[in-house]
């Protein structure tokens, strides 16, 4: 047959996730670590990979890495599950707790993958918009939860792309107020230094998501994990692809996790750069940076789309959110190396100055 019947109805009109990754000299658009894994560690990784049997299926649950992560978090292995990036585990959440007739609670503007996964799995999404300063409208959230039909909730802390972590007291109240599964997405917790982990001991309905893609420089490898109570992990195991975490990724992850202290200086540098860049942005007329607990800064300005173009033409790629509801006029810049950040700041200042003189010229004409 030279035709094909329609795909599943929930795909109609769905736009695939597009990270808007374009060739550039400075990639400040995807919240990656600007520094690759160092040479010494690469050497160790190479040696470990050389011993991986490539003809055998991998350990389905990545036992080695699972035990290391469990131990580092004071838990045992049945509280941990490794995934093919955090993204796979976010999809597994929608498969296991969502589906037709089920509902999730979402706090936009936030990571767009949450709503996309809900849509793919025919899960209804209830959106509670964040307030002007991008904090969660707590009373609206509790009021909605009281209806009793919410099956899962996702709270990103820090929230991507807005930047701040979620108050710990709210997370605790949320966990107490509902039996819905509450996912706290801690993809950037190494930069925010705050975790909901202690609440696992008292809250069966908590699941925490982490990733190797940001602080640990492994976005190219695809490794993430969740921490949760065993009853929750068991449900995630039912929906996952058995071999989603390949043997090479497991080996890389083990070496990197074992040596994770090496990433500390880089993390500290990014936190310092965040302060320095925010200050430079505040000192630039017409630019309003939002506070951040993560490895990026969201800023608001006039002509954000044009500024994005200008930066891109000069080799610096940032993320344009100006077409996203509630993020009008906003760009997100990932903290790069100090040199990349300097370049970003001076280009943005040049854009603002050029626009200023163009306007003055236009007013004279
Ligand atoms: C980057 C990110 C993740 C996970 O990314 P992976 O590369 O798939 O591990 C999860 N949540 C948020 C908010 C992120 O920004």
Is CATH 3.90.1150.10 the classification given to domain 19-34+263-356? Answer: yes
Coil/strand/helix, residue 45: helix
Kindly give the distance from the C-alpha atom of residue 29 to the centroid of ligand 1, in angstroms, as a whole number. Answer: 13
Which stretch of DSSP H or E encloses residue 2? none
C-beta of residue 184 within 8 angstroms of C-beta of residue 157: yes
For the beta sheet containing 330-334, the strands, ordered from the edge strand earlier in sequence to the opposite edge, are: 288-289, 296-300, 330-334, 319-320
| pLDDT score of 38 | 96
- pLDDT above 90 as % of the chain: 93
The percent of residues in the chain predicted with pLDDT above 70, rounded, is 100
For 324, the token pair is: 């996203």
CB-facing half-sphere around the CA of 321: CA atoms within 13 A: 23
Q: How confident is the model at residue 18 (pLDDT cuts 50, 70, 90)?
A: confident
Strands 152-156 and 103-106: parallel
Q: 187: CA distance to ligand 1 center in Å?
A: 6
Predicted confidence band of residue 360 (pLDDT cuts 50, 70, 90)? confident
User: Is pLDDT larger for residue 356 or for residue 269?
Assistant: 269
What pLDDT is recorded for position 226? Answer: 98
Q: How far is CA 141 from the centre of its chain?
A: 22
* Most ligand 1 atoms within 8 A of CB, residue of 84, 87, 186, 216 to mutate: 87
Ligand 1: which of 69, 89, 160 to mutate, most ligand atoms within 8 Å of CB?
160
Q: Render pLDDT for 183-226 as a digit per residue (tens, 0 to 9).
A: 999 999 999 999 999 999 999 999 999 999 999 999 999 999 99
Residue whose CA is at the smallest distance from ligand 1 atom 12: 187
Using pLDDT thresholds of 50, 70 and 90, give the confidence band for residue 363. Answer: confident
pTM comes to: 0.96
Asked if residue 165 lies in contact with residue 192, where contact means CB atoms within 8 angstroms, the answer is: yes
Pocket of ligand 1 (CB under 6 A): 31, 85-87, 111, 156, 160, 185, 187, 211, 213, 219, 224
If you measure from the C-alpha of residue 362 to the centroid of ligand 1, how many angstroms do you get, rounded to a whole number?
44
CA of 185 to the centre of ligand 1 (A): 8
Q: How confident is the model at residue 303 (pLDDT cuts 50, 70, 90)?
A: very high
Q: Could you check whether 19-34+263-356 and 49-261 share the same CATH topology?
A: no
With a cut of 80, say whether residue 6 has pLDDT above it: yes
CATH number of the 49-261 domain: 3.40.640.10
41-68 mean pLDDT:
98
Closest by CA position to 330, among listed 128, 127, 134, 188: 134
Mean pLDDT of 86-102: 98
Q: Taking the domains of the chain in order of start, what are their residue ranges? A: 19-34+263-356, 49-261
Closest-lying ligand 1 atom to the alpha carbon of residue 212: 9
* Average pLDDT in the chain: 96
Report the residue among 185, 217, 256 best suited for mutation to probe ligand 1: largest number of ligand atoms under 8 A from its CB: 185
Q: Is 316 left (phi over 0), alpha (psi -120 to 50) or beta?
A: beta
pLDDT value at position 163? 98
Three-state secondary structure call for residue 185? strand
For the segment 112-138, the average pLDDT, to the nearest whole number, is 97
């Amino acid at each position: 047959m030279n035709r094909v019947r329609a795909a599943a109805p929930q795909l109609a009109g769905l736009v695939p996730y597009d990270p808007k990754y374009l060739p550039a000299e400075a990639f400040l658009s995807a919240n990656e670590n600007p520094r690759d894994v160092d040479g010494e560690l690469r050497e160790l990784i190479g040696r470990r990979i050389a011993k991986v049997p490539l003809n055998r299926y991998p350990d389905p649950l990545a036992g080695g890495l699972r035990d290391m992560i469990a131990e580092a978090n004071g838990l045992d292995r049945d509280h941990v599950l490794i995934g093919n990036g955090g993204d796979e585990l976010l999809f597994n959440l929608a498969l296991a707790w969502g589906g037709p007739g089920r509902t999730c609670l979402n706090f936009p503007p936030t990571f767009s993958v949450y709503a996309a996964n809900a849509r793919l799995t025919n899960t209804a999404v209830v959106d509670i918009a964040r307030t002007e300063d991008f904090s969660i409208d707590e009373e609206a959230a509790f009021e909605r939860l009281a209806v009793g039909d919410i099956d899962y909730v996702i709270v990103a802390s820090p929230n991507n792309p807005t930047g701040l972590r979620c108050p710990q007291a709210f997370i605790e109240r949320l966990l107490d107020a509902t039996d819905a599964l509450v996912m706290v997405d801690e993809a950037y917790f190494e930069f925010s230094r705050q975790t909901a982990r202690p609440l696992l001991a008292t809250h069966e309905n908590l699941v925490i998501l982490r990733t190797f893609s940001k602080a640990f420089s492994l976005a190219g490898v695809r490794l993430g994990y969740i921490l949760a109570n065993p009853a929750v992990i068991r449900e995630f195991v039912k929906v996952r692809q058995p071999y989603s975490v390949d043997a090479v990724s497991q080996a890389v992850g083990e070496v990197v996790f074992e040596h994770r202290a090496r990433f500390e200086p880089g993390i500290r540098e990014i936190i310092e750069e965040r302060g320095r860049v925010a200050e430079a942005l505040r000192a630039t007329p017409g630019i309003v940076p939002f506070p951040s607990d993560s490895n990026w800064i969201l800023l608001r300005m006039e002509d954000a789309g044009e500024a994005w173009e200008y930066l891109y033409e000069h080799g610096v790629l940032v993320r344009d959110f100006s077409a996203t509801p509630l993020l009008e006029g906003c760009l997100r810049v990932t903290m790069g190396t100090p040199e990349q950040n300097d370049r970003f700041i001076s280009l943005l200042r040049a854009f603002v100055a050029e626009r200023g003189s163009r306007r003055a010229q236009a007013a004279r004409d």
